[in-house]
Amino acid sequence: MKLIETFGLRALHRLDPEQAHDLSIKALRAGLVPLPGAPVTSGRLKTSLAGLDLPNPVGLAAGYDKNARTLPALMRAGFGFVECGAATPRPQPGNPRPRLFRLTEDRAIINRFGFNNDGVAAISERMGARPAGIPVGLNIGANKDSKDRAADFAEVVRVAGAHADFLTVNVSSPNTEKLRDLQGADALAALLQGVIEARDALPAHRPVFLKIAPDLDDAGLADIAQVARQTGIDAIIATNTTLSRDGLRSEHAPEAGGMSGRPLFERSTRVLAKLYRLTGGHIPLIGVGGIGSVDDAWQKLRAGASAVQLYSALIYSGFSLATEIAQGLDERAGREGLTCLSQLTGTGAEDWL
C-alpha cells in the first residue's frame, strides 16, 4: 500500500497544487486510494474528547474535504475523527486562483482559499448520508460579504448541526477579511453565545469547539481562555495557519495567505502550552500545526493536547501517516508504561513556556 501511495504522491506533485487536491478528492470518491479500513485502536489509544469516544486521538483537520464529498472514504483512512468544512450559509467561490502553493523544501503549504464551499445546505445533506463510524465534525464560518457574520455562524449550526458530531467555530482563518477580528473578547463572547443557543436548540447535544490563530499575543490568548470558560465551549483547537514567514526558504514564501506545515510546529505548540496553563487543563485542547511524525504528535500531547489533527503533512506523506502516528503513539505509550494517553497530556507544557 505504501509503494502505491508513494507513486501516487509523486504523480500528484507534478500537477498544480489545487488540481492535485481536486484529483485526490475524485480518487477517494472512486475508491482508487488504498485505505486501511478500521482505525488503529487499543486501550491506550481510546480517547474521550468532550463527550466523543475516539478510537485513537489522531484526527483529520478541516480544509481537506471542504464539501463533505469523501466522508465514507475518510472514515476508513485510519483517523480517529474527521473534520470537514468550513461551511458557510451560502455557497461561495472563494478567492481567485492560484490560491494554493507547495513549499516543498519547507514541507509546508500556503493557502488563501477564502472559505470556498458549496454552502451549508449541500454539505449538511452529504453529512447526513454518511455511514456510521468515527466522529465527524463540521467547521463553520461566515460568508465573505455577510453583513452579520455572527448570525452566519448560528445559521450554519441550525441547518447542519444535527448531522455533525461536533461543531468548530472558525474565527482564525486569515483568508477572509477581518474574520480574525472576531477573536476579540467581546465579539467572540457574543458570537459563541449565538452558536451555543443555536446548538442548544438541536435535537441532541453537540460539542462546540473554537479554532484559534497561532499569531495571538499573550493578552489575546488570555482573552480566549477567559471567554472559553465563560461561554462553556467544549474544546479549543490550537491552531489554524499563520501569517508568519519566519525561516521559509521556498520561492513561494512571499505569497499571501495562511502558512501551515513543519515551520508552524514550534509556534503552534507554544500557543497550545500557553493555553493549557491559562485553562488549567480544564478545557480539552486539540493540537494542530506542523505534525508530521509520531514524535511531533507526542510533543503536542505533552504540551497540553488531548488529541491532534493532521493536514499539511498528508500532502507529503499520504494518508498512511495517520495510521503510522496512531501505531507509534500506542507503542511509545506502552514503552513508557502509560495505560492511556491522557496520562501524557500537559506533562511537558512548561517546556514550551
Q: Catalytic residues, which ones?
A: 173
**What CA–CA distance (Å, rounded) separates 42 from 47?**
10
For the stretch 23-60, what's the b/e string if a residue is b when 16 or more beta carbons lie within 10 angstroms of its beta carbon? Answer: bbbeebeeeebebeeebbbbebbbbebbebebbbbbbb
Helices 185-200/149-160 angle, 10° precision: 20
Strand, coil or helix: what is 51?
A: coil
**Closest Cα to residue 52, out of 137, 135, 168?**
135
Residue 230 exposure: Cα atoms within 13 Å on the Cβ side: 14
**How would you classify residue 130: left for phi > 0, otherwise alpha for psi between -120 and 50, otherwise beta?**
beta
Point out which residues pair with 210 in neighbouring strands.
169, 236
**For 201-293, where are the alpha helices, taking DSSP H only?**
218-231, 265-279
Is residue 192 within 8 A of residue 233, CB to CB? The reply is yes
Q: What are phi and psi of 4, to 5 degrees?
A: -60, -45
For the stretch 292-305, what's the b/e string if a residue is b when 16 or more beta carbons lie within 10 angstroms of its beta carbon? Answer: bbbebbbbbbbbbb
Task: Show the cell assigned to 307.
Answer: 488529541
Task: Show the cell assigned to 301.
Answer: 500531547
The bridge status of strand 108-111 relative to strand 100-103 is antiparallel
**What CA–CA distance (Å, rounded) separates 142 from 181?**
13
